[in-house]
Amino acid sequence: MRDAAEVTLVIDGCAIATVDATGAEYSDGHIVVRGNRIEAVGAGRAPETPGAVRIDGRGCLLTPGLINTHHHLYQWVTRGLAPDATLFEWLTTLYPIWAGIDADATRIAATGGLASLARSGCTTTTDHHYVFPRDAGDLLTAEIDAAAQVGLRFHPCRGSMDLGAGAGGLPPDSVIESLDDILTASAEAVSRHHDDSFDSMLRIALAPCSPFSVTADLLRESAALARELGVRLHTHVAETLDEQEYCLETHGVTPAAYLEQLGWIGPDVWWAHAIHLDDTAIATMARSGTGAAHCPTSNGRLGAGIARTADLLAAGVAVGLGVDGAASNEASSLIEEPRNALLFARQRGGPQSLSVRTALDMATMGGARILGRATEIGSLEPGKLADLALWNLSTPAHAGIDDPVTALILGAAPPLAALVVNGRIVVRHGEIQTIDEAAVGRDVARAQAALIAKAG
Ligand SMILES: [Zn+2]
């Protein structure tokens, strides 16, 4: 059926960074999209294609759409709180507010967060939702509906917490669930929503929250269930030294060693943050194929530490980038992450430790690798899905920067001339085509005020 589809979109006149295995780039190139797939990409003008939508890419840089590997979309309605706190202080401030979320607040928050991602070049995003207050409604479906409406490719993780303060965990007992309820809901999420196809717009992962908010039983059982169902595993690991201290005191091992003991390593697992790692943990990640979602802006906001990104990459670990939840990254702008990853890595290891092109690779192919979609997305190659970001570099802020990839990574965040997801134009001339952003903004303000009032 696909071969019968007409060429639907042509972009030419632009610089192109394909991020393919050879690093192919064109100073003046074209891309041809047929249906939801890339048909051709190369140098010079595109062939004549009657009937196709044609975008004049002059003054722009075309890259693969960016891939966001860690987020908590519901936090879009709880931004700006505890702005100077450590992770544990911040969490204990926010848990009681999060206890008030329901399906409506989750849908509104997700729409706001997804809009920010779309405007910052993101075509595929994960979400890690782990707060499921009793009687709050179907929160997972609420965010899935939001992603379908905005039009992004979506990998929501059915998160969970089962270790409340009463049993030695960090979260209050009001926001945790029982192990049985979590496993039932996780299996149901996969059977209802998970689509394994090449073109999939929706895949589920299982994601107990963190070593200090879940039991060992939940980690073990979730891993077994995910492997039985053929879905991926995600959790927070080694984000702060407080977490390391907690694991050493409670389990006698580091967070990374604890996760390894419970079977939480492998090519089907990606860890969020992975900051405080020793050489053994990095070697274990590399050997097992465990991926890392690096979230530099959130790590900076919480003063959590600087990940050993260059060491992870040198060891062969797949590293993607993430904005993390909006309550610890109020902008949640994905194009800021490759720049911050580069700056953070260079603060650790000097100017040679991470190049602008490696930063772009992490934001695209790195994400595709850790989500298990390296053959489908992450680079501009014939046969791959048409997820594209066309960055306008002809603004006064960018004109004259010597190299377009350097302008994208080190210059001001550029506006998008277009964002294409699965062959569909989602952003054009900097404006999201699928939703009314002003109305979403009003909804977000209303939901935020209601949530704060509810928490008293
Ligand atoms: Zn997180």
Instruction: Decide the pairing of beta strands 269-273 and 291-294.
Output: parallel
Using an 8 Å Cβ cutoff, are 159 and 130 in contact?
Answer: yes
Cα(293) to ligand 1 centroid in Å equals 10
Q: Tell me, what's the pLDDT at 456?
A: 83
What is the number of alpha carbons within 13 Å of residue 32 lying toward its C-beta? 19
Using an 8 Å Cβ cutoff, are 206 and 217 in contact?
Answer: no
Using an 8 Å Cβ cutoff, are 422 and 153 in contact?
Answer: yes
Cα(246) to ligand 1 centroid in Å equals 18
Question: Coil, strand, or helix at residue 452?
Answer: helix
Q: Tell me, what's the pLDDT at 3?
A: 45
Interior/surface letters 94-111, b for 16+ CB within 10 angstroms, e for the rest:
bbebbbbbbbebbbbbbb
User: How far apart are the C-alpha atoms of 175 and 83, rounded to whole Å?
Assistant: 22
Cα(129) to ligand 1 centroid in Å equals 9
Cα(72) to ligand 1 centroid in Å equals 6
Query: What is the maximum alpha-carbon separation in the chain?
Result: 68
The tens place of each residue's pLDDT in the chain, 456 residues long, gives 344 467 699 999 999 999 999 999 999 999 999 999 999 999 999 988 888 999 999 999 999 999 999 999 999 999 999 999 999 999 999 999 999 999 999 999 999 999 999 999 999 999 999 999 999 999 999 999 999 999 999 999 999 999 999 999 999 998 899 999 999 999 999 999 999 999 999 999 999 999 999 999 999 999 999 999 999 999 999 999 999 999 999 999 999 999 999 999 999 999 999 999 999 999 999 999 999 999 999 999 999 999 999 999 999 999 999 999 999 999 999 999 999 999 999 999 999 999 999 999 999 999 999 999 999 999 999 999 999 999 999 999 999 999 999 999 999 999 999 999 999 999 999 999 999 999 999 999 999 999 999 998
Closest C-alpha among 366, 363, 367, 341 to residue 354: 341
Backbone angles phi, psi at 9, to 5 degrees: -150, 135
Secondary structure percentages of the chain, helix, strand, coil, to 5: 40, 20, 40
Cα(322) to ligand 1 centroid in Å equals 9
Gap between the terminal Cα atoms of the chain: 56
Cα(161) to ligand 1 centroid in Å equals 13
Q: Angle between the 103-119 and 437-455 helix axes, to the nearest 10 degrees?
A: 140
Cα(325) to ligand 1 centroid in Å equals 6
Closest C-alpha among 158, 203, 154 to residue 177: 158
Cα(349) to ligand 1 centroid in Å equals 25
Q: Tell me, what's the pLDDT at 208?
A: 98
Closest C-alpha among 37, 35, 45, 36 to residue 11: 45
Cα(10) to ligand 1 centroid in Å equals 37
User: How far apart are the C-alpha atoms of 303 and 24, rounded to whole Å?
Assistant: 37
User: How far apart are the C-alpha atoms of 363 and 357, rounded to whole Å?
Assistant: 10
Cα(213) to ligand 1 centroid in Å equals 13
Cα(107) to ligand 1 centroid in Å equals 19
Q: Tell me, what's the pLDDT at 174?
A: 87
Cα(299) to ligand 1 centroid in Å equals 10
Cα(435) to ligand 1 centroid in Å equals 26
Cα(95) to ligand 1 centroid in Å equals 13
pTM of the model: 0.97
Cα(170) to ligand 1 centroid in Å equals 15
> How many helices (H) and strands (E) would you count in the chain?
15, 17
